[in-house]
Amino acid sequence: MKTYRWIIIIAVAVAVILLIAYGFMPKPVPADIAKASRGHMSVTVDEEGKTRVKERYVISAPVSGFMRRIRLEAGDPVKKGQIVAELEPLRSSVLDPRSRAEAEAAVLASDAALKAAEENSQRAAAEAEYAKANLVRIKKLFEQGYVSKDEMEHAETEAKRAEAGRLSAEAAVKVARFELDKARSVLQYPADEGGAKHGRAVALRSPVNGRILKLYRESEGVVNSGEALIDIGDPDKIEARVEVLSADAVKIKLGAPVLFKRWGGEPVLSGMVRIIEPAGFTKLSSLGVEEQRVVVLADITSTTDGKKGLGDGYRVEASFIIWEGKDILQIPASALFRKEETWAAFVVKNKRAYHRQVEIGHRNGLTAEILSGLSEGEEVITHPDDSIKEGTRVRMRS
């Protein structure tokens, strides 16, 4: 019994020692663990952009005038040559009491000038008639030898001068009559009368088949020469305009594939880079930092049914694919860290973390291509912190 009691005491003591030793042992560090795997990988440049119609036609007023109300609405189809707007001559200005009194006085003055011109015309006609009759009489006397040749030539000159005076007086009458009409026109066409009554309306026609994209103004009113009125285009033929950083623009090639995501529809739309503008521009970011950006235009090559509902000026997220590959060994980029001049990662072996130097290739922000240092299926720790060192026991974070 005594031996049995000692055995129990020793067993309890050993258990206590083991428990104390276990309590002082470092516990496994929870960590996020991922496997190195093979699959498709791509490197993209992601930016926000806007769609726009490829061929936009802006119809503007060719002359200043009074535009009639446009009956069309945005989205309505139009055909080539269809009248989309009409311009009438400008309305007359409204006369205030002082202007009306001045206009009436101008009419009276023009009427008096016309009467004076008519009287002057009658006087000039009488003088011309007298000079003509006198010339006939002088010619007869000259033929009979009673007057000299000098007197006859003087009579001819006087007759021509009188005829010229008559013609001038008649022209003055016409001028006075036109001045009277001009003065009366100020009172003759009040502002409340439509311009179409006194002149032809200018018809503005659609240059192409398409749809109304935008109405700059719909109600009638005065428009100036060159003022934009209507935008017309084909909303099925759209492209994306994306402003990218100049450092990223040099990586994008003409004809590079583009994916358009989060535009509002379910499918991811495909496209192709068509133009990379050669000139950049400075733009302030949301943080107030100056950035050099370049405009990239990309055609949306997806079918019409796939991009149904996408219109002009819609927001899209464009992903320009600058590199892609198949069967690429890759790990999460968050598993990498710098070790002196090289890249490294923590590999999990037998529930312990071991430092491993790796050589990486392409990165896209989420994953990194592994050229050497890891094999497919090996586990690595993502987001390693200071608590993980060489040989540290780790466990999968729950």
d(CA 45, CA 47): 7
d(CA 313, CA 151): 91
d(CA 184, CA 188): 6
d(CA 269, CA 256): 14
d(CA 281, CA 246): 9
Provide the phi-psi class of 227: left if phi over 0, else alpha when psi is between -120 and 50, else beta.
beta
Task: Please tell me the pTM assigned to this model.
Answer: 0.65
d(CA 271, CA 265): 15
DSSP 139-166: HHHHHHTSS-HHHHHHHHHHHHHHHHHH
Structure tokens at 348: 């999990």
What single-letter DSSP state applies at residue 95? P
Structure tokens at 283: 């733009």
d(CA 298, CA 271): 6
d(CA 367, CA 37): 11
What single-letter DSSP state applies at residue 333? G
Structure tokens at 239: 């492209």
The neighbour count for residue 58, using CB atoms within 10 Å, is 13
Spell out the per-residue pLDDT of the chain, length 398, in tens. Answer: 567 777 777 777 777 777 666 555 567 888 899 999 999 999 999 999 999 998 899 999 998 989 999 999 988 999 999 999 999 888 777 777 887 788 788 888 888 888 988 889 898 888 889 888 888 888 888 888 787 888 888 888 888 888 898 899 889 889 988 888 888 887 776 665 554 455 578 899 999 999 999 999 888 889 999 999 999 998 888 899 999 999 999 999 999 999 998 888 878 899 999 999 999 999 988 888 999 999 999 999 888 777 878 888 899 999 999 999 999 999 999 999 998 889 999 999 988 999 999 999 999 889 999 999 999 999 999 999 888 888 888 888 87
Q: Are 203 and 86 in contact (CB under 8 A)?
A: yes
Structure tokens at 346: 């923590």
Helices (H), the chain: 2-24, 97-144, 149-188, 246-249
DSSP 34-75: EE-EEEEEEEEEEEEEEEEESS-EEEE-SS-EEEPPP---TT
Give 148's contacts (C-beta < 8 A, 6+ positions apart): 142
